[in-house]
Amino acid sequence: VYKRQVTFQSTRFRTSQENILAYIQEHLNSPVLQQAFGGLPICLVRAGLHDIAVPNMTASKYAFNVEWYMHLLLTQCSHLLWLQNTAPQRADDTDMSIPYPQTKQRVREYDQAVYQMLLESDNNTLKQLVTTVDVFEASLGWDHEDNVHLTPDWNRALGMFFLKLATKISGF
């Protein structure tokens, strides 16, 4: 969520999140697709590993930004599957072999802040339309390309899991 990041700016929108939303609206929410699939898509979303590296970012600020992003996404998605973050290689701040701020301990703290935000939210929309999927433990045994990015094998396996899940749910 990157402090409402500006990595993917455009002439239309200032933040990456708004550009992602515009893409969903224009490419996944056409009237033809909505009619074919019975409404807005279910969106699978993840953010956070790079947010940890933002100066002065805290778990509570991150959760605040995630809440804003979730509300934005729910204008174009019927439901959100919020993927919590994968485990980085660095264990904690005492592990000096990897010089990055993302640690297993910190990732868990940020994911817990989002989970608590959802549990404590007075907003029933978030409680009803957001499902969290914890992939941290499952990611522990996978190879990494660097401290936070897992290999393409992880992404393929995760994608296949959701494809199989969607196939079973839809009855295809």
44 sits in which H/E element: strand 42-46
pLDDT of 7 > 60? The answer is no
> pLDDT value at position 95?
82
Contacts of 77 (CB under 8 A, 6+ apart): 24, 40, 41, 42, 43
In the structure encoding, which two tokens stand for residue 149, read together? 């990015």
The end-to-end CA distance of the chain, in Å, is 34
List of long-range contacts for 124-131, beta carbons under 8 Å, 24+ apart = 125/71, 125/74, 126/67, 126/70, 126/71, 126/74, 129/74, 129/78, 129/79, 129/80, 130/70, 130/74, 130/79, 130/80, 130/82, 131/79, 131/80, 131/81, 131/82
Max CA pair span of the chain: 54
In the structure encoding, which two tokens stand for residue 55, read together? 């100066």
Mean pLDDT of 62-80: 92
Say what the pTM is. 0.82
Taking the C-alpha atoms of residue 102 and residue 48, their distance in angstroms, rounded to an integer, is 10
In the structure encoding, which two tokens stand for residue 154, read together? 């992880």
What are the beta bridge partners of residue 150? Answer: 144
pLDDT in tens, 124-165: 889 999 999 999 999 999 999 999 999 999 999 999 999 898
> pLDDT value at position 4?
45
Residue 48, CB-side half-sphere exposure with 13 Å CA sphere = 31
Residue 98 DSSP label: S
